[in-house]
Amino acid sequence: MKLRKVTAASAVTLALAVSVTACGGGKKNDDSSGGGKKIAIGIKYDQPGIGQQTPQGYTGFDVDVATYVAKKLGYSAKQIEWKQSKSADRETMLQRGDVDFIAASYSITPERQKKVDFAGPYLLAHQDVLIRADDSTIKSPSDLNKKKLCSVAGSTSAQNVHDKLAPKAQLQQYPTYSACLTGLQSKAIDALTTDDSILAGYAAQPQFKGKFKLGAFKMTNENYGIGVKKGSDLKAKINKALEEMVSDGSWKTAVEKNFGPANYKNEPAPKIGDIKS
């Protein structure tokens, strides 16, 4: 009889433990305020027109794409947990499971594909340079030789220029594109290089109107993809969502909304899996 009491008590304790574990598991998908699921999405916080954190919230083409994809996956805008994804941290964030996917001007490259999977591409951009509006010395990529060229840590842009087009360019790594822009304005650097879509966003900001210009060099093809953890089944689901975004006109609307003010000449929506070298 005594043994039965002990056994019954143990069973109750075990049941409570299982219940607590079940309620506490899956932290990423729990919403303590209402019990709803959450999705964590990595974006850039400092790229106007692409991904930017503002006092009013988050704006940009990548934000609109990610919000559309999340909706197709079953999440409302209120269920999205935005996380800053700096260029140098993206693969690590995916591998650790800090985010479910990343839409952060994330160019698909063979090296990155060894570490993570990509859905898309959903935008074809081109590497370019941003220079001061009164600079007449940089007219072609070769003119970047012996110039101070800025890009951000973890980005491939400046290294591409150095390796293939201007081997004597003086590479300058800054933590963010905003920091590069400040250096360009103060003449601490001569040119900022990254994707033309990102550069156009910066040049179009009211406070910089007329101060900078694009080189229009189109030095590389940059295939923007949505990064997911290696082997994740999200890849196929996101690809389907991206196809729907193009077919229902939402992709075009997002392009015009975010890039239109800068007169950015975008490429047509790429087909899923069609990566331009």
In a domain, 199, yes or no: yes
What pLDDT does residue 258 have?
Answer: 87
In a domain, 116, yes or no: yes
> In terms of domains, do 113 and 246 share one?
yes
Report the distance separating Cα 21 and Cα 230, nearest Å. Answer: 27
The parts of the chain modelled with pLDDT lower than 70 are: 1-35, 261-263
> In terms of domains, do 120 and 188 share one?
no
> In terms of domains, do 44 and 120 share one?
yes
pTM to 2 decimal places: 0.76
- In total, how many domains does the chain have? 2
> In terms of domains, do 114 and 226 share one?
yes
What pLDDT does residue 112 have?
Answer: 97
Q: What does the pLDDT look like over 62-116, one tens digit per residue?
A: 999 999 999 999 999 999 999 999 999 999 999 999 999 999 999 999 999 999 9
> In terms of domains, do 59 and 187 share one?
no
> In terms of domains, do 120 and 242 share one?
yes
What pLDDT does residue 25 have?
Answer: 35
In a domain, 275, yes or no: no
In a domain, 151, yes or no: yes
Report the distance separating Cα 164 and Cα 104, nearest Å. Answer: 25
Whether the Cβ atoms of residue 100 and residue 28 lie closer than 8 Å to each other: yes
> In terms of domains, do 116 and 150 share one?
no
Rounded to a whole number of angstroms, the distance between the first and last alpha carbons of the chain is 77
- Last-in-domain residue among 158, 180, 214: 214
In a domain, 248, yes or no: yes
* Residues whose CB falls within 8 Å of the CB of residue 3, separated by 6 or more in sequence, listed in order: none
Helices and strands in the chain: count of H runs, count of E runs: 9, 12
Domain that holds residue 179: 126-214
What pLDDT does residue 38 have?
Answer: 97
> In terms of domains, do 90 and 135 share one?
no
> In terms of domains, do 198 and 257 share one?
no
Whether the Cβ atoms of residue 169 and residue 144 lie closer than 8 Å to each other: yes
In a domain, 157, yes or no: yes
Strand partners, 192: 130, 150
> In terms of domains, do 197 and 235 share one?
no
> In terms of domains, do 118 and 138 share one?
no
The CATH number of whichever domain residue 226 belongs to comes to: 3.40.190.10
What pLDDT does residue 28 have?
Answer: 47
In a domain, 24, yes or no: no
What pLDDT does residue 24 have?
Answer: 37
In a domain, 29, yes or no: no
> In terms of domains, do 258 and 150 share one?
no
What pLDDT does residue 137 have?
Answer: 97
| Neighbour order of strands in the sheet with 57-59 | 46-47, 51-54, 57-59
Q: What does the pLDDT look like over 169-188, one tens digit per residue?
A: 999 999 888 899 899 999 99
